[in-house]
């Protein structure tokens, strides 16, 4: 179905004016407005041809009106494209009733059932406008119902020319049946589309609530530990005169807690930005060796306290084409995880090699490893329960998810190879800068 819609360009037309800045409910209303405009354009073209065939009264005037309506509905689509959503809806609701008024006044009267469409158009504003725009909903609803009542109870039959197809009562009855079926079809199509998007809104609300709960959980648990540690050591330093050795120990613990809090907050903020589609990348040429060194420097105290040895094999002049903040966050996360899940006095290996237009970076450890289910959840982009490091270190469960999304935004990718109790190897592929 999607392939067919793409081939005929209908999906493109339905999504005119949709962008990442719109909330989901507004996007749904814009899509429904586009759908109504498209149906209106199609119907006016269809009836212009049909009226010529059956010999409808004043057919030339009606075709001029149809042309005006087609242009107006096309303008509504254009206004949506230019993000003039409110004006587009107002143009739409006034335009769709115009041909019906003239059809019933100068051509068909209350014959053939065209005035039934007023009942459909009376319902349209309920899906096109938000509750805050209730004036327009009420106005259009009442106006179209008044049109229907007038033609139903006070209208007169059309005066058809003898010898034309339309003069035949059977043809008139076919038009009436077509009007009823078309009305039901249009209502069903719009409501189906509305229900489909309502389901999307409900899923989005569930996802948003889950994200909110996860954020509160991280703030309540993963930041509570390091901030509590900082508070305890600061209290100790301010309430007593300490020896130099004790002071150094306290300062080291404060630095570790600060680094841990910073990484948690950075991951949390990057995750929220990515989920809200509010993350952008600025690609530039970067020296990979320098990026690795900067990440190691931030984590040096954490590695030293655990006795972790670095084994680095990165060519000094190797260049990657990445966003500096993003790639720094990715590498800090991967190195922090490697330290966290390595056994004391272990080692972390960092290697890189050129492979065509990409640089392949490998970060590996011999720590506790990961389960198949954990790797599957990461590959599917699903948060998973936090796990503790070999010395009780806590994490948010977001680090690797943030890494995967950031790498995608830079044209890179990540692959995880791991077995429980046998360590983890992270392979990341980054666009490179080929030096002449």
pLDDT, tens digit (0-9, with 9 covering 90-100), for 240-296: 656 667 667 667 767 766 766 666 666 666 666 665 555 667 788 989 999 898 888
Has residue 109 been placed in a domain? yes
Instruction: Return the CA Rg of the chain.
Output: 33
Q: What is the reported pLDDT for 263?
A: 65
DSSP character at residue 382: -
Has residue 394 been placed in a domain? yes
For the domain that residue 345 is a member of, what is the CATH number? 3.30.565.10
Q: Are residues 25 and 139 in the same domain?
A: yes
| Residue numbers in the chain where pLDDT is lower than 70 | 1-9, 208, 210-244, 246-247, 249-250, 253, 256-257, 259-280, 382-388, 392-398, 434-436
Q: What is the reported pLDDT for 371?
A: 84
Q: What is the pTM of this model?
A: 0.54
Dihedral (CA of 187, 127, 11, 8) sign: positive
Q: Are residues 171 and 62 in the same domain?
A: yes
Beta-carbon contacts of 215 under 8 Å, excluding residues fewer than 6 positions away, are 268, 272
Q: Are residues 161 and 50 in the same domain?
A: yes
Separation between Cα atoms, residue 164 and residue 108, nearest integer Å: 14
Query: Residue 198: which of 275, 120, 122, 127 has the closest Cα?
Result: 127
For 328-332, the CB contacts below 8 A with 24+ separation are: 328/291, 328/294, 328/295, 329/266, 329/267, 329/270, 329/402, 329/403, 329/406, 330/402, 330/403, 330/406, 330/407, 330/428, 331/291, 331/292, 331/295, 331/363, 332/263, 332/266, 332/295, 332/298, 332/299
Has residue 47 been placed in a domain? yes
Has residue 244 been placed in a domain? no
Tell me whether strands 347-355 and 309-313 are parallel, antiparallel or unpaired: parallel
What three-state secondary structure class fits 292? Answer: helix
φ, ψ (nearest 5 deg) of residue 399? -50, -50
Q: Are residues 294 and 394 in the same domain?
A: yes
CA distances from 109 to 105, 122, 155, 301 (A): 6, 20, 6, 87
Q: Residue 264's beta-bridge partner residues?
A: none
Domain-ending residue, one of 191, 208, 225: 208
E strand segments, 260-412: 283-287, 309-313, 319-323, 347-355, 358-365
Has residue 255 been placed in a domain? no
Domain-ending residue, one of 158, 177, 208: 208
Has residue 251 been placed in a domain? no
Task: Quote the domain boundaries for residue 96.
Answer: 2-208
Number of domains in the chain: 2
CB–CB of 428/330 below 8 Å?
yes
Q: Are residues 302 and 180 in the same domain?
A: no
Two tokens at 345?
A: 């006095």
Has residue 215 been placed in a domain? no
Has residue 269 been placed in a domain? no
Q: Residue 359's beta-bridge partner residues?
A: 354, 430
Domain-ending residue, one of 208, 236, 251: 208
Q: What is the reported pLDDT for 186?
A: 79
Q: Are residues 174 and 287 in the same domain?
A: no
Q: What is the reported pLDDT for 4?
A: 40
């Amino acid at each position: 179905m999607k392939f067919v819609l793409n081939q005929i360009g209908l999906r493109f037309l339905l999504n005119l004016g949709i962008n990442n800045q719109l909330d989901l409910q507004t996007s749904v209303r814009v899509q429904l407005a586009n759908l109504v405009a498209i149906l209106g354009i199609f119907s006016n073209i269809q009836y212009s041809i049909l009226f010529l065939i059956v010999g409808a009264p004043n057919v030339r005037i009606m075709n001029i009106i149809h042309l005006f309506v087609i242009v107006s509905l096309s303008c509504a689509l254009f206004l949506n494209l230019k993000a003039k959503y409110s004006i587009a809806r107002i143009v739409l609701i006034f335009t769709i009733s115009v041909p019906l008024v003239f059809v019933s006044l100068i051509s068909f009267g209350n014959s053939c059932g065209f005035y039934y469409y007023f009942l459909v158009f009376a319902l349209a504003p309920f899906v096109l406008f938000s509750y805050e725009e209730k004036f327009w909903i009420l106005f259009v609803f009442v106006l179209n119902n008044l049109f229907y009542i007038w033609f139903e109870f006070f209208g007169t039959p059309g005066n058809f020319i003898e010898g034309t197809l339309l003069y035949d009562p059977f043809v008139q009855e076919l038009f009436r049946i077509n009007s009823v079926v078309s009305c039901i079809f249009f209502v069903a199509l719009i409501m189906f589309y509305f229900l489909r998007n309502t389901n999307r809104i409900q899923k989005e609300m569930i996802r948003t609530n889950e994200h909110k709960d996860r954020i509160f959980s991280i703030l309540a648990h993963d930041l509570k530990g390091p901030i509590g540690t900082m508070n305890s050591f600061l209290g100790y330093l301010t309430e007593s005169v300490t020896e130099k050795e004790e002071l150094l120990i306290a300062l080291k613990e404060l630095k570790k807690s600060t680094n841990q809090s910073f990484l948690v907050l950075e991951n949390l903020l990057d995750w929220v930005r990515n989920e809200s589609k509010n993350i952008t990348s600025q690609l530039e040429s970067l020296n990979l060796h320098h990026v690795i060194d900067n990440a190691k420097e931030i984590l040096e105290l954490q590695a030293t306290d655990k006795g972790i040895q670095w084994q680095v094999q990165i060519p000094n002049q190797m260049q990657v084409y990445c966003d500096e903040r993003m790639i720094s966050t990715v590498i800090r996360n991967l190195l922090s995880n490697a330290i966290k899940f390595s056994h004391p006095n272990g080692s972390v290996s960092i290697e890189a090699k050129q492979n065509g237009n990409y640089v392949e970076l490998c970060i590996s450890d011999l720590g506790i490893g990961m389960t198949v289910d954990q790797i599957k959840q990461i590959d599917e982009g699903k948060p998973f329960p936090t796990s503790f490091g070999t010395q009780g270190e806590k994490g948010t469960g977001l680090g690797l998810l943030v890494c995967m999304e950031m790498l995608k935004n830079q044209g890179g990718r990540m692959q995880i190879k791991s077995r429980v109790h046998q360590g983890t190897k992270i392979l990341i592929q980054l666009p490179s800068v080929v030096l002449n």
